[in-house]
Amino acid sequence: MILLEIIKLIGIVIIVVGFIFKFDTIAVVLIAALATALVSGISFPEFLSLLGEAFVSNRLVTLFLLTLPMIGISERFGLRQQAVRLIERIKGLTPGRMLSLYMVIRELAGLFSIRMQGHTQFIRPLIEPMTQASAEAKYGEIDEKDVERIKARSAATENFGNFFAQNTFIAASGVLLITGTMESLGHEISAVAVAQASIPVALIVLIFVAASNVLFDRKMKNKYGKKTTVPTQKGGE
Amino acid sequence: MESLINNLLEFFFILTGFLLMYTAGSVFMDKTHPTRLGTTLFWLFLGVIFAIGNFIPYYLSGIMLLVIGVLTLFKQVKLGHVRPIEDDEAEEASKRIGNWIFVPVVVLAAVAVGIAQFTPLGGQVGIGIGAAVSLMTGVLITRATPKTVMDDSDRMIQQVGTTGILPQLLAALGVIFTAAGVGEVIAGGISTVLPEGNRFLGVVAYCLGMVIFTMIMGNAFAAFTVITAGIGIPFVIAQGGDPVIAGALAMTVGFCGTLLTPMAANFNALPAALLEMKNESGVIKEQTPLALILIVVHIALMYFWAF
């Protein structure tokens, strides 16, 4: 009986192995789905219908594709170049400060329940180019490895700001899920209290992210700082 | 209202389907493409599922998805020739257009957020309308030709590539896991090995259970119900833990799992693709140190604050 139940986890094993060995992800997910269905008594034709229905009814997840044409033409007509020009005019802006600023904005958006798909709406078109521009304005040319890191940090900032502040709003879906689940398990709790209990974590994450940005700026300065001082020395002599 | 929302969304899905089919057409016309037929079929099937998935029997979409899986498994889907961005052209255009170039991006955000906040249509319809309005604004400002708009749509879609549909596919996997009862098996397994009466172990198990199960499912919401019923209630709350504090912390510690897992493709693999990163798991790598610290913070908070 227990063995019968455990075999349902075969899909998870396939996913883990597939991700570790970097097999083709789409194929791995489909195989995991098929295996899980077959060991759980779902027949192959039933599986095809279930898979098709599940995929079609989750098309919402991929709706961001519709925003791509606009982002595409904006980039062709100089979005990045203009972002660089704008950032160059702001003195004292560093990649770390840029991302800390976005982190504050993102957490406030969560508090006021402004739902947004930050990666498509802000990170790719605006925040990442501006962060990169602030690095280039300050340090000149930066190497490929650091461009990659700035990209990763931009995306990570969106996730930190989005995840850990969203429950500070009383009608956030996470808060409603917590109260709903607790209620169905016999513990009546209020959404306001859950939102309040979510505030410390939002603040802690904000502090950690800001501190990590300070460290990142320091690292960048140590690595590239010389490049900006060389021309000034020349000018001085 | 419900039917209006659904009709609008269906309309946006059909539009998305057309964008995907346009990419299929442009790949098919590209005689130099290394895997021309496979890649054409990939985008065509995807476009068909998007455009008419609701009007054909679901098993047909299921079959098309399996074909898509076979195509990607045998590396038959590749980035073909797309019209690149010429740096000097962009430089020149940005001198002409100036800060107006930011308007479409701001319009997208403003319209999407505005519709989500101030109309009953909801965030998803907001993104669709925002995309349409911002594209029109963009065309007015840049004076891009329809050919350029379609070229850029094709370029962006091909660059996002196969990773773009991963979040949706994983969501579908979640549906199948739920239908098979995977969650119950895991929660049952953990609760049989855990000793009762130890608050600290209970807190650790609740937090790590949320992290690990979120990493497997790619979604903290899916994990929350299962792990709270299986571990949180018997091992934390029944021992005197405050359900408000324990519940709130369990949810956010689950989000630490989201930061660590390739299963949460829409938060990790998707931005890597959108930003054209070399390393597909670069975002997860960047998030790992802070996520691990936050897990420890959550365990400490729950142990000292919830009791």
What are the boundaries of each domain within chain B?
A: 181-305
pLDDT at A2: 62
Query: Whole domain around residue A211: which residue ranges?
Result: 63-228
For A8, the closest of B58, B185, B262 (CB atoms) is: B185
The interface residues of chain A toward chain B in range 92-111, judged by CB-CB distance below 8 A, are none
pLDDT at A62: 84
pLDDT at B242: 96
Among A24, A40, A57, the domain boundary falls at A57
Per-residue pLDDT of B89-109, as tens digits, reads 888 998 899 889 889 988 987
Per-residue pLDDT of A112-153, as tens digits, reads 766 667 888 789 888 999 999 899 888 888 999 999 999 999
pLDDT at B189: 79
- Domain check: are A47 and A93 in the same one? no
For A50, the closest of B104, B153, B179 (CB atoms) is: B179
Contact of B60 with A105, CB cutoff 8 Å: no
Residues of chain A with C-beta less than 8 angstroms from the C-beta of B26: none
Whether residue A233 is predicted with pLDDT greater than 50 in this model: the reply is: no
- Domain check: are A205 and A100 in the same one? yes
- Domain check: are A41 and A122 in the same one? no
- As a whole number of angstroms, the distance between CA B263 and CA B268 comes to 8
- Domain check: are A119 and A36 in the same one? no
Quick one: which of B64, B262, B176 has its CA closest to A18? B262
- As a whole number of angstroms, the distance between CA A127 and CA A123 comes to 5
- Domain check: are A218 and A112 in the same one? yes
Flag whether residue A209 sits within 8 Å of chain B, measured between CB atoms: yes
* Mean per-residue pLDDT over chain B, rounded: 91
Residues of chain B with C-beta less than 8 angstroms from the C-beta of A113: 117
For A32, the closest of B173, B186, B294 (CB atoms) is: B173
pLDDT at A17: 87
Alpha helices in chain B (DSSP H): 2-29, 36-52, 58-73, 87-97, 103-118, 123-142, 146-160, 166-180, 182-193, 199-217, 220-227, 243-260, 269-274, 282-305
CA distance A39 to chain B (A): 9
Two tokens, residue B92: 């020149």
Residue A236 pLDDT grade (very low, low, confident, very high; cuts 50, 70, 90): very low
The number of domains in chain A is: 2
- Domain check: are A89 and A175 in the same one? yes
Residue of A5, A10, A21, A26 for testing the chain B interface, max B β-carbons within 10 Å: A26
Per-residue pLDDT of B33-43, as tens digits, reads 999 999 999 99
Are B157 and A65 in contact (CB < 8 Å)? yes
Residue A226 pLDDT grade (very low, low, confident, very high; cuts 50, 70, 90): low
A236: in domain:
no
A28: in domain:
yes
A237: in domain:
no
- As a whole number of angstroms, the distance between CA A132 and CA A121 comes to 17
- Domain check: are A98 and A167 in the same one? yes
- Domain check: are A104 and A140 in the same one? yes
Mean local confidence (pLDDT), A35-60: 92
pLDDT at A234: 39
Mean local confidence (pLDDT), B249-259: 97
| Higher per-residue pLDDT: A184 or A74 | A74
Range A156-175 burial, b when 16+ CB lie within 10 A, else e:
bbbbbbbbbbbbbbbebebb
CA distance A233 to chain B (A): 31
- Domain check: are A76 and A130 in the same one? yes
Give the burial class of B236: count Cβ atoms within 10 A of its Cβ; 0-12 exposed, 13-18 middle, 19 or more buried. buried
Whether residue A228 is predicted with pLDDT greater than 60 in this model: the reply is: no
Residue A3 pLDDT grade (very low, low, confident, very high; cuts 50, 70, 90): low
- Domain check: are A154 and A130 in the same one? yes
- HEC string of A38-90 equals HHCCCCHHHHHHHHHHHHHCCHHHHHHHHHHHHHHHHHHCCHHHHHHHHHHHC
Two tokens, residue A134: 């602030």
- Domain check: are A36 and A128 in the same one? no
pLDDT at B125: 87
Flag whether residue A173 sits within 8 Å of chain B, measured between CB atoms: yes
Residues of chain B with C-beta less than 8 angstroms from the C-beta of A144: 278
pLDDT at B110: 84
Q: In sequence order, what are the residues at sequence separation of 6 or more whose Cβ sits closer than 8 angstroms to the Cβ of residue A170?
A: A191, A192, A194, A195
Flag whether residue A214 sits within 8 Å of chain B, measured between CB atoms: no
- Domain check: are A168 and A138 in the same one? yes
Residue A23 pLDDT grade (very low, low, confident, very high; cuts 50, 70, 90): confident
